Amino acid sequence: MPNAKADREPGKTVTRADLSEIVYQRVGLSRTESAELVQSVLDEICDAAARGETVKLSGFGSFVVRSKGERIGRNPKTGVEVPILPRRVMVFKPSNVLKAKINGRDTNAVKD
């Protein structure tokens, strides 16, 4: 089985097609089934976020929807004050395991 990690360049963006190809290579589903599986997982994450739910992927991190209140902003070019309407934003909080991996530390010694 080819090593999918070795084929990627550092700093490259991982796309939906890349994820589908990795599922195809590692799991053994057809390319079509792999693409459908990846799409299904991404759709469920999007639907849960739209409902305001937190999506936690153990060993990876959590996607959390937060509400931001109305506030006054300022146009940096003109200095004119502009109201910023209340909105919901999604933030990602990486797990301790992911943080350790990014920083090159031993992930076995870290609890999630």
Where residue 67 sits, what CATH number does that domain have? 4.10.520.10
Distance (Å, whole) CA 42 – CA 48:
10
81 and 42, same structural domain?
A: no
**Structure confidence at residue 11 as a pLDDT band (50, 70, 90):** confident
Q: Which residues are CB-neighbours of 96 under 8 A, at least 6 positions away?
A: 110, 111, 112
> At residue 69, what are phi and psi to the nearest 5 degrees?
-80, 170
Containing structural domain, residue 62: 52-112
**Predicted local distance difference test score (pLDDT) of residue 10:** 74
> Is 34:17 a contact under the CB 8 Å cutoff?
no
Q: Which of 50, 54, 59, 58 is closest to 92 using CA atoms?
A: 54
108 and 60, same structural domain?
A: yes
Q: Is the pLDDT of residue 5 over 60?
A: no
Quote the pTM value.
0.73
pLDDT one-digit tens code per residue, 87-108:
999 999 999 999 999 998 876 7
81 and 34, same structural domain?
A: no
87 and 72, same structural domain?
A: yes
Averaged pLDDT, 19-43: 95
pLDDT one-digit tens code per residue, 43-98:
999 999 999 999 999 999 999 999 999 999 999 999 999 999 999 999 999 999 99
**Predicted local distance difference test score (pLDDT) of residue 8:** 64
44 and 3, same structural domain?
A: yes
Q: Is the pLDDT of residue 112 over 70?
A: no
Task: Count up the domains in the chain and report the number.
Answer: 2
